[in-house]
Amino acid sequence: MNTNKYKGGEEPGATRVRFAPSPTGHLHVGGARTALYGWLFARSRKGSFILRIEDTDRHRSTEESVEQIISSLQWLGLDWDEGPGVGGDRGPYRQMERMEIYKEAAAALLESGKAYRCYCSPEELDAARANAKAAGKPFVYNGRCANLTAVDEEKLKAGGRGSVVRLRLPDTGVTIVRDIIKGDVEFDNSILGDFILLRSSGIPTYNFAVSVDDAHMGVTHVIRGDDHLPNTPRQILLLEAMGEKLPAYAHLPLILGPDKTPFSKRHGASSVEEFRSQGYVREALCNYLALLGWSLDGETTLFSVEELIEKFSLERVGSTASVFDNEKLSWMNGHYIRSMDSEELASRIEQFIENTVLAGLPGTDDKPSVTDLVPLVQEKMKTLADFVDLTEFFFHPATFEEKALSRLVKDANAPAVLANAAEVLSSLDVFSVEAIESTLRQSADDLELKLGKFLQPIRISVSGKTITPGMFETLEMLGREESVSRLLAAIDLLKNSG
């Protein structure tokens, strides 16, 4: 094959990669992985990363989705050098604002005879499609308008027929997609048909808009999901018809759910926004998505973004589908939370809790602040949402979880433990972690109970839960008065329930 027709071998710095989402919903993790791989590749080569919004589907595109996608990309830290909000000299970067460019490209193809106007009516085409279906064959346009004379065209126009623009294609031979991940994939030209470039409304088809834009924006590498592979021969033929060199292609395999069907809403959270609102941190999601299809050595699992930029390569992207593993992601999230600087974690938590029951509470009146609480919970958190579960009781009187309450009621030692704890904690000189710990250890010994067993009713009484941050730290943070009053309330509760 003639490699001169590819742009790929240019200086790394000249690398131009685009991410081209259709704004028809939230950014799915599949889209986020595509964006991440493109971004890592562009950054690793000190090239440019371009964001292009493909909004020509007027029924499904929404402004809200554009904003969502942009906000998810920003949150992930995937910044773009050209695109919405940033500008660039190959813009505009939203397809609906590029209509003139498509019109001119179509006019040039018509002029050179590489494209032609087709006047077949939707009814005629529907009938042809139905015939093909009945015969069990794929529909291929029969080229009826491929050789109309100017006179024919005038007549059709005069008869009120609208027209579309179609690309004139060879109906023999093959088109080979050279793909970095899949290798060479061959497509028979005869099944492609003279496809439509511009609809009668003047709006370009997906394949036309993408090809014009990739050429016009100087894209050197097209990295996208392999659901687009069947479109690629059409885009190659179009680029060739326009006299353009080809970008290099890398089609990423699908992401599957545990049941091996395409990963989607049915499997739970599937968009970046959902993972974000469940308390995942960007470092974990980027690291996890990087490994969902790529590996350095089949072993290393933890990579900072800087390491990913340094190590990422398209050659090491696998060609088979990957299965999304929530447990691994959640393990990774816990890892990043535990290893985060506590100030940074506090600031992430502060942003996160704005939309939760804790909004506005930490640090008001005599309540602990997020910064006070981080050392108590950092080791136990797997998501930012865990902060809410683990600390909510500091801000409200304990509301008992069913399981916790039934344990407390069934614990024969509880009345004695609680009475003892209320008494010794009331009479401590200094209400510090050390003093609380030493007096409660002593009490456990006095009552001949193991420490864990002794602390359990205290834990449930002050928090309503069976799992809390460290007990001595928790009591100190609650303060003497609040701790003792909760213990006394629990003693009453037990009396009344007995």
Q: Which residues are catalytic?
A: 265
Nearest CB to ligand GLU, comparing residues 228 and 486:
228
Q: Of the ranges 19-27, 139-147, 339-347, 436-444, which one interacts with ligand GLU (CB under 6 A)?
A: 19-27
For position 16 contacting ligand GLU by CB under 6 A, the verdict is: no
Q: How far apart are CA 67 and CA 62, in angstroms?
A: 9
- Binding residues for ligand GLU, total number by CB under 6 A: 7
- Least Å from the CB of residue 141 to ligand GLU: 22
CB of 21 to ligand GLU, least distance (A): 5
x-or-dash string of contact with ligand GLU, 143-172, rule CB under 6 A: ------------------------------
210 binds ligand GLU (CB under 6 A): yes
Smallest gap, in angstroms, from Cβ of residue 241 to ligand GLU? 18
Cβ contact 57:22 at 8 Å? yes
Contact pick of 26, 43, 178, 228 for ligand GLU (by CB under 6 A):
228
Query: Considering the complex, what minimum distance in angstroms separates the CB of residue 482 from ligand GLU?
Result: 53
Closest CA relative to residue 219, chosen from 20, 62, 353? 20
- 247 vs 334 by CB, closer to ligand GLU: 247
Run of H or E residues at 17: strand 16-19
Using DSSP, how many helices (H) and how many strands (E) does the chain show?
20, 11
Query: 33 vs 224, which CB is nearer to ligand GLU?
Result: 224
179 binds ligand GLU (CB under 6 A): no
Q: Report which DSSP code applies to 429.
A: S
Task: State the nearest-atom distance from the C-beta of 395 to ligand GLU, in Å.
Answer: 43
Q: Closer CB to ligand GLU, residue 88 or residue 225? A: 225
For 201, other C-beta atoms within 10 Å of its C-beta total 9
Residue 4: count other Cβ atoms within 10 Å of its Cβ: 8
CB of 254 to ligand GLU, least distance (A): 13
DSSP code per residue over 106-150: HHHHHHTTSEEEE---HHHHHHHHHHHHHTT-------TTTT--H
How far are the Cα atoms of 20, 268, 319 from residue 223, in angstroms, in the given order? 10, 26, 13
Q: Which amino acid is at 85?
A: G
Please name every residue paired with 167 in a beta bridge, in sequence order, or none if there are none: 115
Tokens 């497509």 identify what position?
Answer: 187
Binding mask 20-49 for ligand GLU (x = CB under 6 A): xxx---------------------------
456 close to 406: Cβ distance less than 8 angstroms: no
Distance of closest approach, residue 211 Cβ to ligand GLU, in angstroms: 9
In the bound state with ligand GLU, the residue whose beta carbon lies nearer, of 213 and 283, is 213
Q: How far is the CB of 61 from ligand GLU (least distance, A)?
A: 10
8 Å CB contact between 27 and 64:
no
Looking at the Cβ atoms of 52 and 459, the one nearer to ligand GLU is 52
Beta pairing, strands 322-323 & 255-256: parallel
Contact pattern for ligand GLU over residues 372 through 391, marking x by CB under 6 A = --------------------
CA distances from 412 to 23, 415, 417, 449, 451 (A): 60, 7, 10, 12, 16
CA separation for the pair 214, 322 (Å, rounded) = 28
The piece of 16-24, 133-141, 374-382, 467-475 that touches ligand GLU (CB under 6 A) is 16-24
What is the rounded CA–CA span in Å between residue 493 and residue 495? 5
Identify which range of 15-23, 183-191, 466-474, 478-486 contacts ligand GLU by CB under 6 A. 15-23
CB of 264 to ligand GLU, least distance (A): 15
Which residues 45-104 are close enough to bind ligand GLU by CB under 6 A?
54
**Calpha distance 395→478 (Å, rounded):** 9
439 vs 55: CA distance, rounded Å: 67
The only residue of 26, 43, 94, 224 in contact with ligand GLU, by rule CB under 6 A: 224
SS3 state at 389: helix
The smaller minimum CB distance to ligand GLU, of residues 22 and 413, is found at: 22
| Residue placing its CB nearer to ligand GLU in the complex, 23 or 334 | 23
Q: Where are the beta strands (DSSP E) in 139-247?
A: 164-167, 174-179, 183-188, 196-198, 221-225
Q: Which is nearer to ligand GLU, 224 or 486 (CB)?
A: 224
**Under a CB-based contact definition with an 8 Å cutoff, are residues 422 and 491 in contact?**
yes
Pair 247, 274: CB distance under 8 Å: no
Give the interface with ligand GLU as residue ranges (CB under 6 A). 20-22, 54, 210, 224, 228
